[in-house]
Structure 1
Amino acid sequence: MKPVFLFVMLSVVTFKLAAQQKIYNIVAYGAKADGKTNNTSAIQNAIDKAASSGGGQVLVPAGKFVTGVIKVKSGVDLHLAANAILMATTKRIDYGPEKASALIIAEEQQNIAITGPGTIDGQAALLLKDIYVMLKNGTLKDSEWQKYNEWGQMRPEEDNRPKLIEFKNCRNIIIKNISIKNGLCWIQDYRSCTDMVIDSIKVESNTFLNNDGIDLVDCKNVKLTNSFFNVADDGICLKSYDPKGLCENIYIANCRIRSSASAFKMGTASFGGFKKITVKNIYVYNTFRSAVAIETVDGGIIEDIDIRGVTAKNTGNAIFIRLGKRQAKVAPGQLSKIYIGNVKVQVPAGKPDAGYQMEGPRELFAHNIFPSSISGIPGYHANDITLENIEIIYGGGAKKQVAYFSPDSLENIPEKIADYPEFSMFGELPAWGFYVRHADGIKMKNVKLSYTGTEFRTACIFDDVDGLKLDNVQVAKAASQPVIILNKVKNQSLERMQLPYKKGAVLIK
């Protein structure tokens, strides 16, 4: 992957030199920093002039500048100076009469940038009020309006809530040093873009639902580093909507994530797939769902995934890996060649994101703490997965009075083949540490599992697995035997196991 990113960095250096040749200050084009005037035309005129003149920096100086939808064009660096705030218009009609445009858009452009250290403010609370007014008086149509989901939540559909940045089919992109806050939908959507550098950005958005911090959709050659995300939905999310597309050659490092969904996730949209994804040194905290979620449920391929150095505190789940099938006319995808190493996660007994403005919705059934899991479906197995140097500390407190599923009836655990992938999707499980089903070539080395408080369940269950190697798996304590259950497991190897009981610790069915 090094040659790819060398190419990206060379492109960035060349673009920076070109962008610094001339500065187009939006004030010179009539923009007013009063926090009231809509400056869309002034900002767009500056962008158009810079693009037609061969490129340059469009400068947003210190001050509060309101804007509607603006289009970034080839050769333009939209630069937000220190103390500059680009404020999104709070009038929903400014985003279009039907489907809402994003605030900052670009399509089929190249050598474009948004740089800081200023701020983009979506003003979500005020915009949402205007959306509700339009929905009530009928000037905005919405099929989801006044419909409640299973958690009793009511929300306008996503197409009626503007994203803040949306780039499509663009090349040579820099997003650097900016702060982005207060969106109503995905904060950033980069779709089928190539050669991107995203560095040292700060994203905070907990105003409403669907607030993914960043979505990379079928993108290639991306470097995302040194950034912070505090959002109501997934923090860093990779998706694939194009059956012929891929997320490929993605490098993510040195990021901090707080999420009311999952911190790092790939695959809730997984039509094409994901290849050569590297994640290093991420810190996760107060996150409702998984620290790491890897999923293919729409027929896509996942392979060559390397994740190392994950520290997660007060996070609902450590690792969730899922191969499913929710498209009736599409064959299941493939999931293989996954390496996850140097991970330490602390899973609490309580709700990790309690108290945040937009909490993740609780499960609608009684349950104890969910284990990490690796699962395929009958006939289509997750394959070649290595977990090494993993430590997970669970909050414990499990009670049979809360929920109980007998380990003697593993065949009754629902498959949920077509369901939305989530770490809680199977309901109460008879294991507290790891649940692995329909998976081949599973290797666990130097894996340490422990819990505080009480726990009555088996630590790990492996069901329908061909090729299982456990090397130095440590379970600190167990209330009862067996500690590990192997059900329909072939070609297993257990070495240097450190389990609480000398006899009866492993049950082979």
Structure 2
Amino acid sequence: MDQLSRRQWLGRVSVPALTVAGASLISAKIPQAESRTDVYNIRDFGAKGDGKVLDTNAIQNAINTCSDNKGGVVMIPAGVFLSGTLELKSNVTLHLSTEAKLLGSPKREDYTAGKGIPEGNGNIVFLYAVNAERLSIEGKGTIDGNGLAFYTGKGDNTGPGQNGVNGNFDRPHLLIFYQCTNLRMDDVFMAASAYHCVRLLKCKHAYIDGVRIYNRVNKNNDGFHFNSCQYVHLINSDVQCQDDACALFGSNKFVTVTNCSFSTRWSIFRFGGGESQNIAITNCLIYDTYGCAIKISAGAAGIQNFSFSNIVMENVTGPIGIGFSGVNSNKNAENNQLAGKPYLRNISFNNIRANVVALPVPHPDIHFDLHTWEGEKNSCITLNAMGEYYIEDISFTDVHIKYAGGGTAEQAEKRDVPNIAAEYFGVWDKTPGGPPAYGLYARNVKGLSLHNVRFEFEKNDLRPAVVFDNVQDVSINGLSLQGSLDAPSLLRITNSKDILLTGVRVLTPCKVLLSLEGTGNEFVNIDGGELRKAKQQVVYLNGANEKSVKVRL
């Protein structure tokens, strides 16, 4: 079929039409140095666009012809184009016009697995590409997975302790890109996947700008998945989904997320395994999010150099959970290949504002019920390593968090926390009553810094604000804490050493400033601050003695 040159195509479109629907085609996204950019309108290949006739073959023929002719633009014009699985290819720009919708078929037989995509947790897919280069998806149109048609009430059972047994994997993801390079996604609205929305697997140099995802019709409706990718940049995008909004699994490196907003039932930024390094997340809004907004759960991993900055969280649980066991329970996982001793280090949190609710709140636009784990209730920041492994070099600077409060005396009295470091709430599910702190719980941490950090609560909370258990090398300056006369102490430190607290402010009256517990405490120093609202400075329990602590008012 004859194709039009860019000059010929522009000549056939009126100026008003260009202004409304085609302006992006004459933007900087099309290299100006090229003498021509061929445009392949799928209607010219037989696509009907009535939302009833299956247009798979016509669209695929347009893509194939474009690729065979060394690339160009495959135009999805106004209309509803029903389709099954489509393979995108190198040098192809898939452009969706403003009133265009690429609609997934409601029939399972119209989909296939992506050729060459590892099976993983399902490789049935709507749009995919394998080993493609210079591939783009752009425009103001919509890619709709028709995912409600695949709802069975059953998820993939990959949650805590489920291991995918009897899970529902036979349903299409919206987009999968495997080992692709120089990938772009701009402006497109992606909706209603039957499974995950966008999966990038071992891709390099991916640029995602202005994409909107609304994915809340089926279970496991994730937003973005980046698996072992490098040089990925997500900006100016909005994600509302049901499961992980931006999961980074495996060995991701050189990833940035900037100027985005997120909401989901389960976590936003979820990390796990591999050698994940050099990741910066900044200027993001997180709202109506449960299952912990920022969650790192690692076994035999090599994780370092993460930066989270300028983040506002409204109505969340968690809000930050880091778990590190050093041991990988999945014997077949990629992160089992880590050379040397596992590590999790160099993580910074700067300029964070959060409002933490008492427990998850159902989203009114999710039509099925979701289980609430006991460990999600009365949550706190959790830094939890175990055994011989430590979380190292963690800093919180200019952090202000208001918690719902309501913690009980039973929670406050918990000392024996199980050696579990999986999902952030998993450890608290195994600890009757939940977290023993309302602000920060840290176990097996070395090199912890808190500067200008403020923890408050709305409802009276009987738990300490901060609990340290086997924590070393701590620098705290300008820590402001709301206290309670009904709580046993404001701070609890157990078997920890080399801790310096300066400029601590007790915001409201409390019974005891510090409960020092255990025989392993050394060099705990409280130097100045506003401590007059504490009725008693220090109590010593379980073998702790006065020689290990020094208080100077």
Contact 1:89–1:127 under 8 Å retained in 2:
no
Cα 1:381–1:15 change in 2 (3 A) is farther
- 1:237 paired with 2:247, answer yes
- Equivalent position of 1:188 in the other structure: 198
How big is each residue's C-alpha offset from its partner over 1:94-124, in whole Å with a ceiling of 9 and x where there is no partner?
2239965211010001000111210000111
After the TM superposition, which of the residue ranges 321-330 and 275-284 deviates more from structure 2? 321-330
Partner of 2:91: 75
Could you tell me how far apart the structure 1 residues matched to 2:282 and 2:197 are? 23
One-letter amino acid of the structure 2 residue matched with residue 425 of structure 1: V
Distance 1:280 1:147, change over 3 A: closer
Deviation string 1:414-444 (CA, Å, 9 cap, x unpaired) is 1125xx4223532312111110001110111
Cα drift, residue 15 of structure 1: 5.9
Q: 1:376 aligns with which of 385, 409, 420?
A: 385
Matching of residues 282-301 of structure 1 within 5 Å: 282-297=284-299, 299-301=300-302
**Deviation sequence 1:472-492 (CA, Å, 0-9, x none):** 111023233410111111111
Cα distance in 2 for residues equivalent to 1:151 and 1:460:
29
Bigger mean CA deviation after superposition, 220-229 or 498-507:
498-507
The alpha carbon displacement at 1:59 in A equals 0.5
1:273 deviates by 2.1
**Structure 1 residues not aligned, in runs of 5+:** 1-11, 133-143, 241-245
Task: Evaluate the alpha carbon distance shift between residue 28 and residue 256 of structure 1 in structure 2; reply closer, same or farther with a 3 A threshold.
Answer: same
1:356 CA drift (Å): 3.7
TM-score by length of 2: 0.79
Give the direction of change, closer, same or farther, for the CA distance of 1:19–1:365 in structure 2 (3 Å limit): farther
Residue 414 of structure 1 pairs with residue 422 of structure 2: no
Structure 1 residues 315 and 424: alpha-carbon distance in aligned structure 2, compared to 1, 3 A threshold: farther
Distance in 2 (CA, whole Å) between partners of 1:93 and 1:220 is 34
Matched, 1:302 2:327: no
- The separation in 1 between residues aligned to 2:170 and 2:452, in whole angstroms, is 48
Gap change, CA 1:156 and 1:209, over 3 Å in 2: farther
Q: Give the aligned partner of residue 169 of structure 1.
A: 179
**So what's the TM-score if we normalise by structure 1?**
0.86
1:119 lines up with 2:142 in the alignment = yes
In structure 2, what residue type is equivalent to 1:259? T
Q: 1:336 is paired with a residue of what secondary structure?
A: strand
Query: Does structure 1 residue 61 correspond to structure 2 residue 65?
Result: no
In structure 2, distance between residues paired with 1:255 and 1:305: 17
Partner of 2:329: 327
Structure 1 partner of 2:436: 430
| Matches for 1:319-398 after TM superposition, within 5 Å | 319-324=320-325, 325-327=327-329, 330=336, 333-357=342-366, 361-365=370-374, 368-398=377-407
Residue 159 (structure 1) aligns with: 169
CA deviations 1:372-392 (Å, max 9, x no partner) are 111111110000001111111
Q: 1:176, 1:145 → 2: CA distance?
A: 30
Cα distance change, pair 287–58 in 1 and its aligned pair in 2 (3 A): same
Specify the alignment match of 1:105 in structure 2: 128
Residues 22 and 185 from structure 1, CA distance in 2 versus in 1: closer, same or farther, beyond 3 angstroms? Answer: same
Equivalent position SS for 2:293: strand
Preserved contact between residue 132 and residue 180 of structure 2 (Cα < 8 Å): yes
Structure 1: distance between partners of 2:249 and 2:35: 31
Whole-angstrom distance in 1 between the partners of 2:490 and 2:236: 40
Q: 1:201 to 1:354 in 2, by over 3 A?
A: closer
Aligned to 2:231: 221
Distance 1:111 1:213, change over 3 A: same
Provide the residue aligned with 1:203 in structure 2. 213
Q: 2:375·2:435 contact (CA, 8 Å) conserved in 1?
A: no
* Deviation of the 1:237 alpha carbon: 1.1
**CA–CA distance in structure 1, aligned partners of residues 477 and 295 of structure 2:** 24
Among candidates 232, 240, 253, match of residue 248 of structure 1: 253
Q: Cα deviation per residue 1:263-283 (whole Å; 9 max; x = unaligned)?
A: 22221xx1x221110001110
Deviations 1:193-236 (A, max 9, x none): 00010000000011111111000110100110000000000111
Output the CA distance in 1 between the equivalents of 2:443 and 2:484: 22
Q: Which moved more, 1:350-359 or 1:185-194?
A: 350-359
Match in the other structure for 2:7: none
How many residues of Structure 1 are paired with residues of Structure 2 in the alignment?
Answer: 468
CA separation of 1:502 and 1:66: change in aligned 2, threshold 3 A: closer
Instruction: Return the alpha-carbon distance in structure 1 between the equivalents of residues 275 and 158 of structure 2.
Output: 32
SS in 1 for 2:64: helix
Q: Is the 8 A contact 2:291 2:376 kept in 1?
A: no
What amino acid is aligned across from residue 295 of structure 1 in structure 2?
S
* 3-state DSSP of counterpart to 2:151: helix
Distance 1:148 1:42, change over 3 A: closer
* Matched residue SS, 1:48: helix
1:422 counterpart letter in structure 2: Y
The equivalent of 1:261 in structure 2 is 266
Q: Which has the larger radius of gyration?
A: 2
Shift in CA distance, 145/186, structure 1 to aligned 2, threshold 3 Å: closer
Note closer, same or farther for the CA distance 1:482–1:119 as it changes in structure 2 (3 Å cut): same
Distance in 2 (CA, whole Å) between partners of 1:490 and 1:293 is: 27
The 3-state SS of whatever aligns with 2:512 is coil
Match of 1:140 in 2: none
One-letter identity of the residue aligned with 1:319:
I
Instruction: Give me the identity figure in percent.
Output: 24
The 1:148–1:385 alpha-carbon spacing in structure 2 relative to 1, beyond 3 Å, is: closer
Whether the 8 Å contact between 2:277 and 2:304 is mirrored in structure 1 is yes
Gaps of 5+ in 2: 1-27, 114-118, 518-553
Cα offset, 1:351, TM superposition: 2.5
Distance 1:169 1:504 in 2: 57
Alignment correspondent of 2:513 = 505
